[in-house]
Amino acid sequence: MKDTSNPSKKHRFFNKLLVVCSFVLAPTTVALAQTSAEDVVLQAIEKNPDVQVRWHDFRAAGFEEDAARGGFRPQIGIDAAYGRQRDNFITGNPMNTGFAEIGLTQLLWDGGRTGANVEEFDNIQLVRYFELLDSAEQTAVEAMRAYLDVVRFRELVQLARDNLETHQQVYDQVAESVEAGVARAADLEQINGRLALAEANLITEESNLHDVSARYLRIIGDLPPDELREVTLDANLPDNIHDVLMQAYQHNPKYHAALRNISAAGSAIRAQRAERTPRLNLTAAYGVQTRDEFGERENHTDGRIGVELTYDLYTGGRRSSNIDRAVALESSAISLRDRACVDIRQDAQIAFSDVRRISERLPVLNQHRLSSDRVRTAYRQQFDIGERTLLDVLDSENEFFEASRAWTSASYDQTLATVRTLGAMGLLLETLSLHRSDLPSLDDLGAEPIEVDPATACPLPPGARALYASQPVVEEEPMVITQVTLSDQATFALDSADLLPAARETLSELVVAIREGKLVGQIQVTGHTCDLGPAAYNKSLSERRAQAVVDYLRSAGIGEDEITSEGRGENDPLYPNDSEENRKRNRRVEITFVTEQATNDELEMNPDGPVTNLRQEELPSVSASDIDFILDQFGQDSLAATPTKADQLAPDVQVQASQPAPADQRDHSSLSGLNAANSTSTVVQIASFSVEANAQRLAKDLQADDYDAFVHMTEVKEMPIWAVRVRALPGQQVAILKEELRDRTGLEVLIVPRSA
Based on the fold, state whether residues 596 and 485 are members of the same structural domain: yes
Q: Rounded CA gap, 310 and 302, in Å? A: 23
CA-closest candidate to residue 586, choices 482, 486, 718:
486
Q: Rounded CA gap, 244 and 256, in Å? A: 16
- Write the pLDDT tens digit of every residue in 46-60: 999 999 999 999 999
pLDDT score at 716: 53
Based on the fold, state whether residues 590 and 628 are members of the same structural domain: no
Based on the fold, state whether residues 669 and 720 are members of the same structural domain: yes
Q: Rounded CA gap, 171 and 6, in Å? A: 13
pTM of the model: 0.60
Based on the fold, state whether residues 606 and 651 are members of the same structural domain: no
More confident residue, 641 or 201: 201
pLDDT score at 357: 92
CA-closest candidate to residue 720, choices 693, 750, 701:
693
- Under DSSP, is residue 309 helix (H, G, I), strand (E, B) or coil? strand
Q: Rounded CA gap, 218 and 212, in Å? A: 10
Beta bridge partners of 310: 279
Domain count, the chain: 2
Domain boundary among 563, 593, 618: 618
pLDDT score at 315: 87
pLDDT level of residue 214 (50, 70, 90 thresholds)? very high
Q: Answer yes or no: are the C-beta atoms of 728 and 682 closer than 8 Å.
A: yes
Mean pLDDT (the chain) is 76
72 CB-near residues (< 8 Å, 6+ apart): 107, 114, 118
Based on the fold, state whether residues 630 and 674 are members of the same structural domain: yes
Based on the fold, state whether residues 632 and 726 are members of the same structural domain: yes
- Under DSSP, is residue 448 helix (H, G, I), strand (E, B) or coil? coil
Section 440-446 average pLDDT: 90
Answer yes or no: is 158 within a domain.
Answer: no
Is residue 402 predicted with pLDDT exceeding 80?
Answer: yes
**Residue 496 vs residues 354, 407, 491, 502, 573: alpha-carbon distances, Å:** 60, 75, 10, 15, 20
Answer yes or no: is 544 within a domain.
Answer: yes
Based on the fold, state whether residues 693 and 605 are members of the same structural domain: no
Q: Rounded CA gap, 726 and 710, in Å? A: 6
- Write the pLDDT tens digit of every residue in 578-624: 888 877 777 788 887 766 554 444 445 455 555 555 555 444 333 33
Answer yes or no: is 711 within a domain.
Answer: yes
- Write the pLDDT tens digit of every residue in 481-490: 566 767 665 5
More confident residue, 268 or 753: 268
Based on the fold, state whether residues 550 and 493 are members of the same structural domain: yes
Domain boundary among 590, 618, 646: 618
Q: Rounded CA gap, 756 and 739, in Å? A: 20
Based on the fold, state whether residues 488 and 537 are members of the same structural domain: yes
Is residue 640 predicted with pLDDT exceeding 50?
Answer: no
Beta bridge partners of 287: 101, 302
| E strand or H helix at 417 | helix 390-425
Domain boundary among 558, 590, 618: 618
Q: Answer yes or no: are the C-beta atoms of 394 and 190 closer than 8 Å.
A: yes
Answer yes or no: is 326 within a domain.
Answer: no
Answer yes or no: is 317 within a domain.
Answer: no
Answer yes or no: is 136 within a domain.
Answer: no
Is residue 633 predicted with pLDDT exceeding 80?
Answer: no
**Residue 505 maps to which CATH number?**
3.30.1330.60
Cα atoms in the 13 Å half-sphere on the side-chain side of 256: 28
State the angle between helix axes of 37-47 and 113-179 in degrees (0 to 180), rounded to the nearest 10: 140
Q: Of all residues in the chain, what percent carry a pLDDT higher than 70?
A: 71
Owning domain of residue 490: 480-618
Answer yes or no: is 224 within a domain.
Answer: no
- Under DSSP, is residue 586 helix (H, G, I), strand (E, B) or coil? helix
Q: Answer yes or no: are the C-beta atoms of 245 and 345 closer than 8 Å.
A: yes
Work out the burial of residue 301: count CB atoms within 10 Å of its CB; fewer than 13 is exposed, 13-18 middle, 19 or more buried: exposed
Answer yes or no: is 558 within a domain.
Answer: yes
Pairing of strands 94-109, 522-528: unpaired
Based on the fold, state whether residues 631 and 579 are members of the same structural domain: no
Based on the fold, state whether residues 633 and 669 are members of the same structural domain: yes
Q: Answer yes or no: are the C-beta atoms of 747 and 686 closer than 8 Å.
A: yes
Based on the fold, state whether residues 604 and 669 are members of the same structural domain: no
In sequence order, which ranges of 483-619 are alpha helices (DSSP H)? 488-491, 501-515, 535-555, 580-586
pLDDT level of residue 208 (50, 70, 90 thresholds)? very high
**Residue 658 maps to which CATH number?**
3.30.70.1070
